[in-house]
Amino acid sequence: MIHNLNVKPLKALLVALQLPKVSDEELKGSLAELHRLVTTLGYEIIGQTSQRRSSDRSSNVVGEGKLLELAKWTGGTGFIAPMVVKKKHKAALKFNSETNDELSHDNDPTDDQSDSLITNEPDESIPEEHHGSAEILIFDCDLSPSQMRNLESATGVKVLDRTGVIIEIFSRHARTRAAKLQVEIARLTYVAPRLRETGGSEDQQGGGGKGSGETSLELDRRRIRDRIKELKENLAAIAHEQDHRRAQRDQEITVALIGYTNAGKSSLMRALTGSEVLIADQLFATLDTTVRQLHPESRPKILISDTVGFIKKLPHDLVASFKSTLDEALNASLLLYVVDSSDPNFLSQLSLTKQVLSEVGAGETQSLLVLNKIDRLSPEEKLTLQNQYPEAFFLSTRNPQNVSELRLRLISYFETDMIDQDVLIPYTVQGAVGEIRSTMRVLSESYNSEGVVFKVRAKPELIQKIITKYSLDVTSKITTN
């Protein structure tokens, strides 16, 4: 496919509501995050504005004055056109015509307030070069279908809400079949209630008599319901395969990288495993779970999985769709909570991450806090965080020494519940040596007249499994590690 590189990005205006329980700092952080989301989509952000509101449930979302201000940005009228224009009786039309004629003789047209509201007089709050230049409005909240229609009617441009932006990013970044199915389910669920607002005739389709058949809107919605059902069935089949693969890894040690989007999980994944995984300075660059082995290889081996990132106000439909991805966290032996220590909002991001994991049942899994990107901190900032989080692991994925130390920390963590055991493998036993070397840490090995004596470090149940399977002798007492 050939892309036109000369196509200019849409000019976007960001709009936020500050509800009673939202602080100025929270509003600023949320707008900054929306800025990154919109930039990820490739739009050109020309400005941002906000308004204090007691609720976000009004039909216009914003007040009338703010609506007129938005119209200045876009070149719209500032007025909401009626959805349905009712036909009037001829007598009513005649009466209205006569009444308007009388009023026109009594009033000066320049006193008409509606005319003054839609003039394009300069607004000092808007840079002059941006008057009428915004091509899309993006709200930092969820909008109902009717709210979106009203805003588009008054401003004359397309309107997106936060959920729409996130779904669009997910659509662009989905690469595997599972991720594409998950995103399409969320997209169709989002689109379905908005069909009335985006067009389509209300004429009857098919049928013969009055009231028979379905409207085109009903047909479209039914098609979407059928499509969602089909997608969920396909996704269930994939999820079954994923469950089978996870079951095969059930006896293996797994570490899941969990955290806010763009916290550096993929960079850490690449550093720990040496694998070529996608790394991009974008939100939601990774949507698919990737599982790789810790490198250099350890015994027993440790598997590292990278998961989809989290974000504030993440649409519930997306959380539900990506449940199979989050199941990696549910089945992990250890969770690494990866946070960007240079982000002033990392505490709230960490809290959100833990909340979502708790919702999928992974809140009780053992975890380790990893404060990433410490190369961006001053010595004073790093010292403050070290005092606040003495148990956390501090690193920069750019520093190989940090990564090596984390690797050793992981190996040491899993060895705490292991034991050291001497096991004799007779020369006549086939297969035991290979299985021991591939599944256990061999501390030493020696040879005698009967066979090979391994001193191994592993979980007691794994050692017992090998002894029972090959009918081996324990040559010395168990010593705990």
The CATH number linked to 150 is 3.40.50.11060
Average pLDDT, the chain: 80
Total structural domains in the chain?
3
Last-in-domain residue among 372, 387, 414 = 414
Position 18 scores a pLDDT of 94
Query: What pLDDT sits at residue 2?
Result: 42
pLDDT at site 252: 80
183 located within any domain:
no
Tell me whether residue 234 is in a domain.
no
Report which of residues 310 and 267 the model is more confident about.
267
The predicted pLDDT at position 433 comes to 92
In a domain, 257, yes or no: yes
CA distance 273 to 292: 6
Question: 117-121, 278-282, 321-325: which range is least confident on average?
Answer: 117-121
Residues 256 and 405 in one domain: yes
Per-residue pLDDT tens for 336-381?
A: 999 999 998 899 889 988 887 887 777 788 999 999 999 999 999 9
Residue 425 lies in a domain: yes
| Cβ-contact 52, 137 below 8 angstroms | no
Average pLDDT over residues 34-59: 92
What digits encode the pLDDT tens for the residues 313-343?
A: 776 666 665 665 677 777 888 999 999 999 9
Q: pLDDT higher for 293 or 105?
A: 293
pLDDT at 143: 92
Same domain, 317 and 364: yes
Q: Which two tokens stand for residue 442?
A: 């061999």
Query: Are 387 and 442 part of one and the same domain?
Result: no
Those residues whose C-beta lies under 8 Å from the C-beta of residue 14, and which sit 6 or more positions away, are 31, 34, 35, 38, 45, 47, 48, 49, 138, 140
Regarding whether 258 and 388 lie in a shared domain, the answer is: yes
CATH number for position 408: 3.40.50.300
Check pLDDT > 80 for residue 277.
no
What is the pLDDT at residue 306? 83
Task: Give the pLDDT confidence of 298-307 residue by residue, as tens digits.
Answer: 888 899 988 7
**Same domain, yes or no: 362 and 408:** yes
**Per-residue tokens: 431:** 């297969």
Tell me: do 395 and 467 sit in the same domain.
Answer: no
pLDDT tens digits, one per residue of 418-436: 899 999 999 999 999 999 9
pLDDT of 406 > 80? The answer is: yes
Are 310 and 339 in a shared domain? yes
Average pLDDT over residues 186-193: 86
In a domain, 176, yes or no: no
In this structure, which amino acid lies at residue 415? E
Instruction: Decide which of 275 and 456 is more confident.
Output: 456
CATH of residue 422: 3.30.70
277 and 400 together in one domain: yes
How many CA within 13 A on the CB side of residue 144? 9
Q: Are residues 404 and 422 in the same domain?
A: no
Q: What percent of the chain has pLDDT over 90?
A: 40
Q: Are 289 and 371 contained in the same domain?
A: yes
Q: Which domain holds residue 150?
A: 11-82+120-169
Question: In this structure, is residue 255 part of a structural domain?
Answer: yes
In a domain, 89, yes or no: no
34 Cβ contact partners less than 8 Å away, ≥ 6 residues apart: 14, 16, 138, 140, 162, 165
CA-nearest of 180, 187, 349, 195 to 262 is 349
pLDDT in tens, 193-247: 877 644 444 444 444 444 545 678 888 889 999 999 999 899 888 877 766 666 6
What pLDDT score was predicted for residue 73?
94
For residue 315, what pLDDT is reported? 67
Judge whether 441 and 299 are in contact, CB under 8 Å.
yes
pLDDT at 87: 52
Within this chain, do residues 278 and 161 fall inside the same structural domain, yes or no? Answer: no
User: Which pLDDT score, from 0 to 100, does residue 352 have?
Assistant: 85
Treating both helix axes as pointing N-terminal to C-terminal, what angle do 432-439 and 460-470 enclose, rounded to 10 degrees?
170
In a domain, 75, yes or no: yes
Would you state the pLDDT for residue 141? 92
Same domain membership, residue 465 and residue 345: no
Lowest-pLDDT range of 14-23, 70-79, 283-292: 283-292
